[in-house]
Structure formats: structure tokens, C-alpha cells
Amino acid sequence: MKSAVLVFPGINRERDMARALKLASGQESTMVWHAETALPKGTDLVVVPGGFSYGDYLRCGAIAARSPVMDAVRKFAADGGLVMGVCNGFQILCESGLLPGILMRNAKLKFLCHDVHLRVERSDTAFTRGYNAGQVIRVPIAHGEGNYTADAETLKRLEGDGCVLYRYCSPTGEVGDLHNINGAAASIAGIVSEKGNVLGMMPHPENHVEDIMGCTDGRGLFAGLVEHLERAA
């Protein structure tokens, strides 16, 4: 799996992401600076990592989304390439038009930094192949703006097309206001594009991939991507 990890000023999770990708695939990722106008040849997966690109100025992800490299990413995605954005990366993908909707300030205005439980809604996508549908995984979050919202029509379409892949839930998988940590519409933690090749999610699966991290529930996502690409090859 040849992965490219985008680097914007203010991003700080790129090395965590590269480490998780290497653990799953055995291959080093290429770090791609935001001013580049092309992705490395043969890229299988583009990852937009978390952090605080441009200090969250204007709106989270707004300025990064207009970087030169994002034109290349849009083209890559239009050709069916796999793109994954985590946390600030999710915000950047929404701002760049690759995913619908937007991440608003958390409903209770607090920056939240702790583990959450996610229910995997389906297992037949490139980004969830490593899990079973309905499985509950535990991964960390660290965000102030993770409250996903979109207009009613878009939300209806996301649900109808099965584009919601991850939802905040209780440790036993119940979804509801009590477990919806940031107020996101329909407890949405992660969505995929209509074509199924662009994922955005607020939680950090890359931070739960090794025993020393206390949990390895994030591994499934990366292992699933590797498997997906091997099968496609």
C-alpha cells in the first residue's frame, strides 16, 4: 500500500498516522507538503491527518482546503483513489468539497480529549472491511469542532445511501443523545463519499494500533485498507 500523508503548517498527527500505516502495510508513507501540485506516482491512499492546520484560522480546515495539493487530491478522488481524513483532515475534506457537510463547534463548547466508542455501521467498504457490521470499537478523540452537520436533504441521502460508517455510541453499541459526545447530527463520527472512496472521521484510529497505547481497536481500519487494495490489485 503506497500511502501519501499530506502535511500542512500546523498539522501534528502526521507521524502517528505514518506509523500506523507502516504497521499495517509494512511500507513507509511519503510525506507530501501542501505546496506540491502532484501526488507521488503510484499512490494508493492519500491521508489527511489531524492537527490544527493554519491554527484553525477562519474556519477549521478552510485554508488548508484551498492549498495547491488539494487540487491534486480532488483529481485523485475523482479518479476513484482512496482518500482518508481524520479529525482536522475530516474538516479539510469537508471544506474542500470532497465530503458534504461541515464540522461545527462541539455542542457544549468544550475541547474534548478522551476515548469514545464507535459503532461500525457496515463492513463492506474499503474503510471498514477490517471490522464486522455492528462492532463497537474504542478510539480516542481530540477536537473542539467535531459536531457534524449538513442540510436535511444531505443527511437523508447519507443515511439512505449507507454513507455513515461510524457513529458515537455506548460501550455496548447503543446510539443516542447520552453518547453523542459533540452533538453531531445522528451521532455521526465518520462518513464516506457517495462513491465510497473518501472517508472523513473525527476520532483517531491511528492512536489505537499498538499494545503500548492500551488498545488496538484502530488496527482494523488500516488492516482493512491493506486488504482492500490487495484484493483490488
Number of residues that bind other proteins (CB under 8 A): 19
Cell numbers describing residue 92: 479539510
Rounded distance between C-alpha atoms, residue 134 and residue 188, angstroms? 14
Nearer to other proteins among residue 97 and residue 134 (C-beta): 97
C-beta of 106 vs 193, nearer to other proteins: 106
Minimal distance, residue 137 CB to other proteins, in Å: 28
Q: Point out the residues that are catalytic.
A: 87, 204, 206
The answer to whether the CB of 202 falls within 8 A of the CB of 208 is: no
Q: Using the rule CB under 8 A, is 106 a contact of other proteins? A: yes
Burial of 86 (0-12, 13-18, 19+ CB in 10 A): buried
Residue 132 is placed in which grid cell?
464486522
Is 150 one of the binding residues for other proteins (CB under 8 A)?
Answer: yes
- 94 or 120: whose CB is closer to other proteins? 94
Piece in contact with other proteins (CB under 8 A), picked from 31-39, 104-112, 187-195, 225-233: 104-112
Does 2 interact with other proteins (rule: CB under 8 A)? no
SS (H, E, C) 126-140: CCCCCCCCCCEEEEE
For residues 101 and 123, the answer to whether their CB atoms sit within 8 Å is no
Q: Which of residues 9-38 bind other proteins (CB under 8 A)?
A: none
Q: Does 186 bind other proteins (CB under 8 A)?
A: no
Question: Residue 3: CB partners within 8 Å, gap ≥ 6?
Answer: 18, 21, 25, 27, 29, 30, 43, 44, 45, 46, 47
* Degrees, nearest 5: CA angle 193-196-199: 60
User: Smallest gap, in angstroms, from Cβ of residue 109 to other proteins?
Assistant: 5
Binding mask 108-137 for other proteins (x = CB under 8 A): xx----------------------------
Q: Does 223 bind other proteins (CB under 8 A)?
A: no
- Contact residues for other proteins (CB under 8 A)? 58-59, 62-63, 66, 95, 100-102, 104-109, 149-151, 183
